[in-house]
């Protein structure tokens, strides 16, 4: 008879492989199209914010630049990088479980839970800053967690502390609150020495205790500063530091403030925690429940406390942003998976001692929880249906672009329309001419292989309720200096959580006379692809 543990491990490993293969089939969502264009422009000699507008921190552009440098413009390039990171993260989770809790099988289960949520988040909510920030957090934790054969386990080497700080610093370049995990780690590493202070006072050995308490935080902070300082130096050297400041410290706070209108910190905090706990993964919720019910043992508590502290830091960042998009929780799932994996493994080992009926019962409950809640949001079909469609495409071998585009379409985003509009631009606009998209689909530039006539790859700055007039003046100056051969106008792209208003791009033109007049006087409607109206220069002028 096959041991219970081997059955569980086989199921967990099989699930992990399937999830990783599914991620390889993901295309771009709207955000990934933005990151890709910023990466393209930067690789061509431009700079984020100054030459390619977006209001995300610069870390995600660096990752997309790396993927583009390695694999070219293909959308699967970033997915290869993402899957490589997920594999490395899963191996680290296995090693962490062995070091913290004495059993690598806990890590295998934790990785399977994490990869399941990641795959269920689908194309839109993956390859996001938080997706990679979670990986960096796990790498940092492994770096400062010595194994049983590493000598003095109470003292982590300076090199490891600085390395962990560098990883947390880069995570902060992806999303600033993720750097806070480094502070939690510093407290956890310095806590034993801090607790020794009363005894050290009596023994007159205060210096050693103070150094032990402060040293981890000092070196983690030093490492954390390094990638941030390098990024600032890069922008300063390229003359783009003022643009970085204007976008991240002037424009972005207004965007963040939209979610706080009429809300209190208590209400938003409750909502954020409840979303994390109950709205994305039934199996993870079950695992956390098992961990609470079965109580962490003494040797398990340090790892559990550290993970819980970093999760709390992440959730505080999600609440501060107050948008609660699914990908905002992305960095938290690997840490949650570790806790849930421990809880499920404790429940499984207890059930296994009771025999097959108890084990089968727990497995049935786990499956039921899996169907009760998944992380697939914002699409009409459920996770299983979409996974089956992707698996069929993967098994078929031949690339069915229409089917892939259907899987990459959601709400007002139609991947097929974007592709056909881009093909039209490729056929009707000379390669040396630029185009302009008045909407929120910068992926069209990349698909058409045409440059943008403006730094504004999408029109949120011109539509936002704050600071729109300077952005409109800057846009018109750029269009005047470099007239586009074509202008694409989008309809039905309404997102008040981003712009603060309920107008789409077409309607917003009524309140932007200079652009509307330019369109009427110099361009003619040439084609329409779903919600995209393509205007070409009027040759009669």
**Rounded-to-integer distance, Cα 113 and Cα 16, Å:** 8
* Domains recognised in the chain with CATH numbers: 4-372 (no CATH), 415-537 (3.40.50)
pLDDT tens-digit readout, 362-420:
989 999 999 999 999 988 889 999 999 998 888 887 678 899 999 999 988 999 999 99
Enter the pTM of the model.
Answer: 0.94
Residue 151 has pLDDT above 80, yes or no: no
Higher pLDDT: 64 or 212? It is 64
Task: Please state the rounded mean pLDDT for residues 67-89.
Answer: 97
Q: Is the model's pLDDT at 222 over the cut of 80?
A: yes
Q: For residue 237, what are its two tokens?
A: 């050297």
Q: What is the pLDDT of residues 246-299, one digit of tens each?
A: 999 999 998 888 888 888 999 999 999 999 999 999 999 999 999 999 999 999
Other CB atoms within 10 A of residue 213 CB: 21
Distance from CA of residue 224 to its chain's centroid?
Answer: 20
Taking alpha carbons only, the member of 120, 105, 248, 240 closest to residue 172 is 248
Taking the CB of residue 522, how many other CB atoms lie within 10 A of it? 14
The secondary structure of 158-186 as a DSSP string is: HHHHHHHHHHHHHHHHH-GGGGHHHHHHH
Taking CA atoms, 6 is separated from 13, 52, 400, 443, 535, in Å, by: 10, 51, 38, 45, 61
Rounded average pLDDT over 510-514:
95
- Tell me the sheet residues that pair with 486: 435, 536
At residue 134, the pLDDT reads: 98
Q: What percent of the chain has pLDDT over 90?
A: 80
pLDDT reported for residue 202: 63
pLDDT single digits (tens) 467-493: 899 999 999 999 999 999 999 999 999
Three-state SS for 528? strand
pLDDT tens digits for range 2-19 = 566 788 899 999 999 999
- Region 136-163 average pLDDT: 79
Percent above pLDDT 70 for the chain: 95
User: Which ranges in 327-355 belong to alpha helices (H)?
Assistant: 333-354
Model confidence pLDDT, tens digit, residues 179-213: 999 999 999 999 887 777 777 666 667 677 777 78
In the predicted model, is pLDDT for residue 320 greater than 50?
Answer: yes
Residue 499: pLDDT band with limits 50, 70, 90:
confident
In the predicted model, what is the mean pLDDT of residues 41-69? 97
């Amino acid at each position: 008879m096959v041991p219970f543990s081997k059955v569980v491990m086989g199921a967990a490993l099989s699930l992990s492989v399937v999830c990783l293969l599914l991620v390889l089939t993901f295309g771009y969502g709207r955000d990934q199209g933005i990151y890709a264009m910023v990466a393209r422009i930067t690789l061509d000699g431009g700079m984020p914010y100054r030459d390619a507008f977006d209001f995300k921190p610069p870390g995600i552009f660096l990752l997309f630049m790396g993927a583009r440098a390695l694999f070219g413009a293909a959308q699967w390039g970033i997915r290869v990088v993402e899957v490589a990171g997920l594999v490395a993260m899963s191996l680290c989770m296995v090693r962490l479980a062995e070091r913290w809790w004495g059993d690598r099988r806990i890590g295998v289960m934790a990785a399977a839970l994490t990869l399941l949520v990641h795959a269920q988040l689908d194309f839109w909510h993956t390859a996001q800053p938080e997706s990679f920030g979670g990986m960096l957090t796990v790498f940092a934790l492994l770096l400062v967690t010595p194994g049983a054969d590493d000598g003095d386990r109470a003292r982590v080497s300076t090199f490891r502390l600085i390395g962990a700080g560098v990883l947390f610093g880069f995570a902060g370049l992806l999303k600033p609150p993720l750097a806070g995990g480094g502070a939690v780690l510093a407290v956890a590493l310095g806590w034993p020495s801090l607790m020794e202070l009363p005894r050290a006072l009596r023994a007159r050995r205060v210096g050693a205790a103070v150094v032990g308490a402060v040293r981890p935080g000092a070196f983690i902070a030093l490492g954390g500063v390094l990638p941030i300082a390098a990024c600032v130096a890069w922008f300063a050297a390229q003359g783009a530091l003022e643009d970085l400041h204007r976008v991240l410290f002037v424009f972005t706070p207004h965007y963040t403030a939209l979610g706080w209108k009429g809300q209190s910190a208590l209400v938003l905090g409750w909502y954020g925690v409840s979303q994390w706990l109950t709205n994305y993964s039934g199996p993870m919720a079950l695992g956390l429940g098992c961990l609470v019910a079965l109580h962490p043992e003494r040797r398990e508590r340090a790892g559990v406390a550290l993970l819980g502290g970093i999760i709390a830091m992440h959730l505080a960042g999600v609440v501060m942003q107050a948008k609660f998009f699914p990908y905002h929780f992305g960095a938290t799932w690997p840490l949650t998976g570790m806790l849930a994996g421990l809880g499920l493994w404790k429940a499984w080992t207890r059930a296994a001692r009771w025999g097959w009926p108890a084990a089968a019962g727990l497995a049935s409950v786990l499956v039921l929880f899996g169907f009760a809640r998944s992380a697939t949001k914002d699409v009409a079909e459920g996770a299983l249906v979409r996974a089956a469609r992707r698996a069929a495409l993967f098994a078929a071998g031949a690339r069915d672009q229409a089917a892939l585009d259907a899987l990459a379409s959601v709400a007002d985003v139609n991947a097929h329309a974007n592709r056909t509009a881009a093909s039209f631009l490729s056929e009707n606009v000379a390669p040396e001419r630029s185009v302009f998209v008045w909407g929120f689909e910068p992926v069209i530039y990349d698909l058409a292989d045409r440059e943008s006539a403006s730094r504004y790859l999408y029109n949120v700055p011109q539509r936002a309720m704050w600071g729109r007039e300077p952005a409109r003046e800057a846009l018109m100056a750029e269009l005047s200096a470099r007239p586009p051969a074509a202008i694409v106008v989008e309809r039905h792209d309404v997102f008040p959580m981003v712009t603060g208003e309920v107008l789409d791009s077409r309607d917003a033109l009524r309140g932007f006379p200079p652009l509307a007049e330019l369109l009427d006087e110099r361009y003619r409607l040439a084609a329409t692809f779903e919600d995209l109206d393509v205007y070409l220069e009027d040759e009669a002028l």
